Amino acid sequence: MTQDAPLHLAPYAAHAAASTGRRLPEPAPGSRTEYQRDRDRIIHSTAFRRLEYKTQVFVNHEGDLFRTRLTHSIEVAQIARSCARNLRLNEDLVEAISLAHDLGHTPFGHAGQDELNICMKDFGGFEHNLQSLRVVDDLEQHYGAFDGLNLMFETREGILKHCSLNNARQLGAIGQRFIDRKQPGLEAQLANLADEIAYNNHDIDDGLRSGLLTIAQLGEVDFFARHQREAELTYPGITGRRAINETVRRMINTLIVDLIRTSQDNIAGVAPRSIDDVRNAPPLIAFSQPMQQEAAVLKRFLHENLYRHYQVNRMTAKARRIIAELFHAFLSQPALLPPDYQTARRDQDDERRQARQVSDYIAGMTDRYAMREHRRLFMIEER
């Protein structure tokens, strides 16, 4: 049986042998670690393939070179795995969490998520992290022995990085840390910050590629300007895409180096001897205070100049209308849904279950499928 390379892993890393395991026991994998098996199941899932046509900021049809949830997840996994090796954490686990963290995202990015949450306000709301857990626990249908992917506890814990207290109380052991105000394992903490590194820097790249951001605007952000000057000094006369790529990769590297060094110092200061010590400690994977401040300035810039750009707002308004109209059409007339998503409604609980199934159906859509379903329902010439 393949083990977790204990000589490489730190004692405070996640070790499969010390895990509470899977919800349903399975024979140990013969040629992989338990967390490799989780990663492989995630990659082969239907929800993972759909990420190719779910977007970050720009809707799928707006261009072929913009990030999608799939390319973003791969980038997060690369950053997280590189950091994990330096910190002696479980690389297979951090990769699995990174690849799965967006499985529950709706079409149309955060606009779709926010609108679906409004639609579901009388039926328990919608949280994309909780939906990601729902995907791997219940909605995937690949195995004869169980629903979902039957992942390891630590993988599921990392996927659920945010959760309301009300929902946490209904989740049992996987939600208990939100009630007890404890931390997840270091691999989950790391995947969370790798996500932040990836989307901040790659949204800059996509913003420049789209023309919604300019180099002149970004030059007002010291973190960008500093790395731009470094690229120009290293390669005099560099321009265009090459200059942007050199600048962005330097920004990513600076963030990664700071994250590793700060986290190493934090870990050394607490000296955890096990993952249980990690859970009882404050967050240990972190940026330095100066880097947190620079990242906050960058986030604020992106919110003001990209995410709230009038052209993005126009697409956001369309996206929210599509989600809302699909939801209310399906909920009022469940016969419009595929049979697997229909619930016979006799009482309030049935209506709640039907609303959740409508939510599952919509959340699983890609951008272009949601637009096509909307045309089918509301345009007379579509079939």
296-315 confidence digits (pLDDT tens): 999 999 999 998 899 888 98
Helical (H) or strand (E) element with 331: helix 310-332
| Residue whose token pair is 């870990």 | 267
Contact 246, 240 (CB under 8 A): no
280 vs 272: CA distance, rounded Å = 9
CATH of domain 35-311: 1.10.3210.10
Q: Is the pLDDT of residue 62 over 60?
A: no
Domain residue ranges of the chain, discontinuous segments joined by +: 35-311, 324-378
- Provide the angle, in degrees to the nearest 10, between the axes of the packed helices 222-234 and 289-302: 100
* Max CA distance (Å), the chain: 72
Q: What pLDDT, on the 0 to 100 scale, is given for residue 4?
A: 59
231 vs 68: CA distance, rounded Å = 27
Q: What pLDDT, on the 0 to 100 scale, is given for residue 61?
A: 46
Contact 275, 14 (CB under 8 A): yes
- Model confidence at 163, pLDDT cuts 50, 70, 90, reads confident
Q: What pLDDT, on the 0 to 100 scale, is given for residue 345?
A: 63
- Model confidence at 3, pLDDT cuts 50, 70, 90, reads low
Q: What pLDDT, on the 0 to 100 scale, is given for residue 344?
A: 67
Q: 152: which strand partners?
A: 22
Q: Which of 53-67, 241-255, 330-344 shows the highest mean pLDDT?
A: 241-255
117 vs 123: CA distance, rounded Å = 9
Question: In sequence order, what are the residues at sequence separation of 6 or more whose Cβ sits closer than 8 angstroms to the Cβ of residue 264?
Answer: 86, 87
> Of 20 and 383, which is predicted with more confidence?
20
- Which whole number is the average pLDDT over 335-339? 93
- Model confidence at 60, pLDDT cuts 50, 70, 90, reads very low
- Model confidence at 183, pLDDT cuts 50, 70, 90, reads very high
Torsion angle (degrees, nearest 10) of CA 289, 295, 300, 306: 180
Question: In sequence order, what are the residues at sequence separation of 6 or more whose Cβ sits closer than 8 angstroms to the Cβ of residue 177?
Answer: 157, 183, 184, 279
- Which whole number is the average pLDDT over 114-127? 95
Phi, psi angles (nearest 5°) of residue 152: -65, 155
- Model confidence at 209, pLDDT cuts 50, 70, 90, reads confident
**pLDDT digits over 249-275, tens only?**
999 999 999 999 999 999 999 999 999
- Which whole number is the average pLDDT over 95-115? 94
Q: Is the pLDDT of residue 245 over 70?
A: yes
- Model confidence at 147, pLDDT cuts 50, 70, 90, reads very high
- Model confidence at 5, pLDDT cuts 50, 70, 90, reads low
Q: Is the pLDDT of residue 1 over 90?
A: no
| Residue 138 DSSP class | I
Q: Among residues of the chain, what percentage have pLDDT more than 70?
A: 93
216 vs 207: CA distance, rounded Å = 13
Of the candidates 315, 314, 242, 282, the residue with the CA atom closest to the CA atom of residue 59: 315
- Which whole number is the average pLDDT over 159-174? 91
Computed over every residue of the chain, the mean pLDDT equals: 92
Q: What pLDDT, on the 0 to 100 scale, is given for residue 350?
A: 86
Q: Is the pLDDT of residue 45 over 90?
A: yes
